[in-house]
Amino acid sequence: MAMTAAPVSEVIGSGRTRLRPILGFFVILLLLVGLWEGYKLLSDATGGNIPFTETSLPVRADDRSMPHVTHIVGSLFEPSRRGAEESLGAFLLAASWVTFKEALVGFAAGAIIGFGLGLLFVRSSLAERGLMPWVVASQTVPLLAIAPMVVLWAGKASMPLWVAVAAIAAFLSFFPVTINTVRGLRSPSPTATELFRSYASTPAQEFVKLRVPAALPYLFTGLRVAAGASVVGTIVGELPSGLPDGLGRQLLTFAYYYLSGPEKLYAAVLFSALLGIVFVSLVALAERLVIPRSRRVPT
Amino acid sequence: MTTTMVGLRGVGKTFKGRNADTTALTAIDLAIEEGEFVSLLGPSGCGKSTLLRIIGDLTPPTSGEVTVNGKSPEQARRDRDYGMVFQQATLLDWRKVVKNIALPLEVMNLPPAERERRAREMLDLVELGEFGEHYPWQLSGGMQQRVAIARALALQPSLLLMDEPFGALDEMTRERMQMELMRIWQRTHTTVVFVTHSIPEAVFLSTRVVVMSPRPGTVAGIVDVDLPQPREFETREHPRFFVKLNEVRETLRGAGVD
């Protein structure tokens, strides 16, 4: 049985492996939409209470708290604000592009700093012991508290505001890269390092031919997390910066005018989420180009 | 007139511990001549792997004198006089088989064409010619170990150090690999130092079996295996084979190893 089953599943798998993740994405999307709308239906049926009780549901489900999915999607095709020619969708797309560029700079800076720190920690255990607590502490500091300070410093140093925003994104994204770089560079077995020793290899050769290739799958795991983190960092950084064009500012504005158009805030949240997905997917694509299939960490 | 490939005089090794030091090896005297196939045989903890690592300059001895190819072990390592094969094949899984074999040649900075030529030659030597473009994970354990042997031989070393290279293989693959190794040894005339804890393996492969006893590790006796060369499948059925097996067993028992 098992002998014949294996090749069959392989044949099915090979044809659909490309489509399957995308299909899964839409199935989950439908499920989420169903849950959202189902919850609203339930609330309508019971007058806002948990069924058969007098206790109200934990989240109110009226159209102001939870607009219909159709309204949220529909709002994308309506003007972004009264009298504007541009649709909300196009408006948010432009804002996402601005945020993406800032996040990309932050991600790149974070990746370089993160890799550099990882390298330093592997080379010097003294540096690792001394610096690691501070690196960990940097990630537990509330970002919302330091973001305004960074913006202020950038202003004082008469740097463009987007630099401050990218710096905040880098601040969030370097950490996963550091952790994974350290793990990856240390991943070769003692036998593998002894093999290189037996070849009388230079430390540089061992680094380039053994440690770096061994670290790549780990590094990309770190980069994926960093990609998501850099989007979060950018949006949080945009809030106090007063930069008018990014997603952060739109989220703030739509939150402010929430009562007159709740679906706009939800639309902006949706775009933030999509931006994260796109960014992480781009990193996954790069990973695919760099690392052969057999060595990839399954997603 | 033969020359000494590996010379050990009064070699000892003590590992410093937190509470007490552990003596892994003491007073090892041994000379391995060029072209020999010598097995270091003994139970776990007799220091046979440590001794091999001392010869390969992967760990320093705490006492005694070691020469490899007439030099200090460090100089021999720097001159790439020996190739090393471990129990784990330790192939780099992002490199194709042929690139794995070429690895030591890359470290030597040989030109690419020369690397390719020698790697292919070694691939043919271990009869894996058509697997050059495969990745290590596509090969069986025995094939991976053959690639590891090809990689060690790519340096054309005068000495091959093997640390229980077939220890992780099943019995059938193991016997095939022993035949394979005999064939390669016949063709390359490389001196081999082979660590194992299998008595039949040591007797089948070796010209001499160095029997070691533990706590502390030392040479309990040396058995000359004067079985006809080349060793073949039938060697294992040779009456002398059983005589030699028993001789090794007696030496082990005489050293208090059961």
DSSP track, A179-208: HHHHHHHT-S-HHHHHHHHHTT--HHHHII
The domain ranges of chain B are: 1-81+193-258
Q: Determine what percent of chain A is predicted with pLDDT higher than 70.
A: 91
pLDDT at A13: 43
pLDDT at residue B186 greater than cutoff 70? yes
Number of A:B CB contacts under 8 A?
54
Condensed to tens digits (0 to 9), the pLDDT of residues A212-227 reads 999 999 999 999 999 9
pLDDT at A211: 93
Q: Do A199 and B80 touch (CB under 8 A)?
A: yes
Q: Which residue has the tokens 């270091």?
A: B40
The Cα of A115 is separated from the nearest Cα of chain B by a number of Å equal to 21
Q: Do B94 and A291 touch (CB under 8 A)?
A: yes
pTM listed for this prediction: 0.80
Question: How far is A94 from A79, CA to CA, in rounded Å?
Answer: 14
CA distances (Å), B139 to each of A263, B151, B182, in order? 57, 15, 22
* Lowest-pLDDT range of A9-13, A75-79, A95-99, A130-134: A9-13
- Indicate the residue of B88, B107, B135 with minimum beta-carbon distance to A199: B107
Q: B168 CB near a chain A CB, below 8 Å?
A: no
**Best to test chain A binding among B55, B94, B144 (most A CBs inside 10 Å):** B94
Q: Which residues of A touch B96 (CB under 8 A)?
A: none
CA distances (Å), A170 to each of A107, A131, B131, B172, B241, in order? 6, 18, 45, 56, 69
Condensed to tens digits (0 to 9), the pLDDT of residues B193-244 reads 999 999 999 999 999 999 998 888 888 888 888 887 888 888 888 888 898 8
pLDDT at A10: 40
Q: Do A295 and B93 touch (CB under 8 A)?
A: yes
Q: A270 CB near a chain B CB, below 8 Å?
A: no
Q: Do B86 and A195 touch (CB under 8 A)?
A: yes
B10 falls in which pLDDT band (50, 70, 90)? Answer: confident
Condensed to tens digits (0 to 9), the pLDDT of residues A141-187 reads 888 888 888 888 888 888 888 888 888 899 989 999 999 999 999 99
Q: Which residues of B touch A216 (CB under 8 A)?
A: 94
* Top-confidence residue, A8 or B56: B56
Same domain (yes/no): A281, A140: yes
Nearest chain B residue (CA) to A193:
B90
Q: Do A213 and B92 touch (CB under 8 A)?
A: yes
Same domain (yes/no): A109, A220: yes
Q: Which residues of A touch B78 (CB under 8 A)?
A: 200
Q: What is the ipTM of this complex?
A: 0.89
With H, G, I as helix, E, B as strand and everything else as coil, classify residue B45: coil
The Cα of B241 is separated from the nearest Cα of chain A by a number of Å equal to 34
The Cα of B77 is separated from the nearest Cα of chain A by a number of Å equal to 6
Q: B88 CB near a chain A CB, below 8 Å?
A: yes
Question: How far is B38 from B225, CA to CA, in rounded Å?
Answer: 10
Q: B104 CB near a chain A CB, below 8 Å?
A: yes
Nearest chain A residue (CA) to B100:
A209
The Cα of A198 is separated from the nearest Cα of chain B by a number of Å equal to 6
User: Residues A270-288: what's their mean pLDDT?
Assistant: 91
* Top-confidence residue, A4 or A68: A68
Determine contact, residues A151/A241, Cβ cutoff 8 Å: yes
pLDDT at residue B188 greater than cutoff 90? no
A2 falls in which pLDDT band (50, 70, 90)? Answer: very low
- Tokens representing A110 are 């974070």
Same domain (yes/no): A44, A72: no
Angle at A190 between CA A128 and CA B206, to 5 degrees: 165
B255 falls in which pLDDT band (50, 70, 90)? Answer: confident
Beta pairing partners, B30: B8
Q: Do A191 and B88 touch (CB under 8 A)?
A: yes
The range of the structural domain enclosing residue A40 comes to 21-58
Question: How far is B53 from B74, CA to CA, in rounded Å?
Answer: 11
pLDDT at A264: 85
With H, G, I as helix, E, B as strand and everything else as coil, classify residue B8: strand
Q: Determine what percent of chain B is predicted with pLDDT higher than 70.
A: 98
Q: Which residues of A touch B84 (CB under 8 A)?
A: 194-195, 198
A11 falls in which pLDDT band (50, 70, 90)? Answer: very low
pLDDT at residue B53 greater than cutoff 60? yes
Nearest chain A residue (CA) to B155:
A199
Question: How far is A288 from B107, CA to CA, in rounded Å?
Answer: 28
Q: Which residues of B touch A291 (CB under 8 A)?
A: 94
B253 falls in which pLDDT band (50, 70, 90)? Answer: confident
With H, G, I as helix, E, B as strand and everything else as coil, classify residue B32: strand
In a domain, A290, yes or no: yes
In a domain, A3, yes or no: no
pLDDT at A183: 93
pLDDT at A75: 84
Same domain (yes/no): A53, A164: no
Q: Do B94 and A189 touch (CB under 8 A)?
A: no
Same domain (yes/no): A171, A123: yes
In a domain, A14, yes or no: no
User: Residues B10-39: what's their mean pLDDT?
Assistant: 87
Same domain (yes/no): A103, A213: yes
The Cα of A111 is separated from the nearest Cα of chain B by a number of Å equal to 23
pLDDT at B257: 65
pLDDT at A294: 57
pLDDT at residue B161 greater than cutoff 80? yes
User: Residues B121-144: what's their mean pLDDT?
Assistant: 87
pLDDT at A231: 92
- Indicate the residue of A198, A291, A294 with minimum beta-carbon distance to B58: A198
Q: B224 CB near a chain A CB, below 8 Å?
A: no
Q: B93 CB near a chain A CB, below 8 Å?
A: yes
In a domain, A9, yes or no: no
- Indicate the residue of A189, A201, A292 with minimum beta-carbon distance to B107: A201
Same domain (yes/no): A49, A111: no
Same domain (yes/no): A141, A246: yes
Condensed to tens digits (0 to 9), the pLDDT of residues A76-93 reads 888 877 777 788 888 888
What is the CATH number for A87? Answer: 1.10.3720.10
Same domain (yes/no): A196, A247: yes
The Cα of A194 is separated from the nearest Cα of chain B by a number of Å equal to 7
In a domain, A82, yes or no: yes
Q: Which residues between 124 and 143 in chain B have a beta carbon less than 8 angstroms from any beta carbon of chain A? A: 135, 137
Instruction: Please give the mean pLDDT across all residues of chain A.
Output: 84
The Cα of A193 is separated from the nearest Cα of chain B by a number of Å equal to 10
Q: Do B107 and A191 touch (CB under 8 A)?
A: no
B258 falls in which pLDDT band (50, 70, 90)? Answer: low
CA distances (Å), A242 to each of A98, A145, A149, A235, in order? 14, 16, 13, 11
pLDDT at A18: 66
Q: Do A192 and B92 touch (CB under 8 A)?
A: yes
pLDDT at residue A242 greater than cutoff 80? no
pLDDT at B151: 92
In a domain, A224, yes or no: yes
Same domain (yes/no): A257, A284: yes
Q: B54 CB near a chain A CB, below 8 Å?
A: no
Q: B94 CB near a chain A CB, below 8 Å?
A: yes
Number of domains in chain A: 2
* A145-154 LR contacts (CB < 8 Å, sep 24+): A146/A171, A147/A236, A147/A237, A147/A239, A147/A240, A147/A241, A148/A240, A150/A237, A151/A237, A151/A240, A151/A241, A151/A242
* Lowest-pLDDT range of A78-82, A156-160, B91-95, B127-131: A78-82
pLDDT at residue A298 greater than cutoff 60? no
In a domain, A85, yes or no: yes
Q: Which residue has the tokens 């007799």?
A: B46
**CATH T-level assignment (fold) for domain B1-81+193-258:** Rossmann fold (3.40.50)
Question: How far is A213 from A78, CA to CA, in rounded Å?
Answer: 50
pLDDT at A7: 40
Q: Do B107 and A209 touch (CB under 8 A)?
A: yes
Q: Which residues of A touch B108 (CB under 8 A)?
A: 199
Same domain (yes/no): A170, A228: yes
Same domain (yes/no): A39, A77: no
- Say which residues have a Cβ less than 8 Å from residue A222's Cβ, sequence separation at least 6: A114, A176, A177, A178, A179, A180, A181
User: Residues A199-215: what's their mean pLDDT?
Assistant: 92
B16 falls in which pLDDT band (50, 70, 90)? Answer: confident
Q: Determine what percent of chain B is predicted with pLDDT higher than 90.
A: 26
Question: How far is B48 from B163, CA to CA, in rounded Å?
Answer: 9
User: Residues A16-24: what's their mean pLDDT?
Assistant: 73
pLDDT at B128: 85
In a domain, A5, yes or no: no
User: Residues A257-280: what's their mean pLDDT?
Assistant: 88
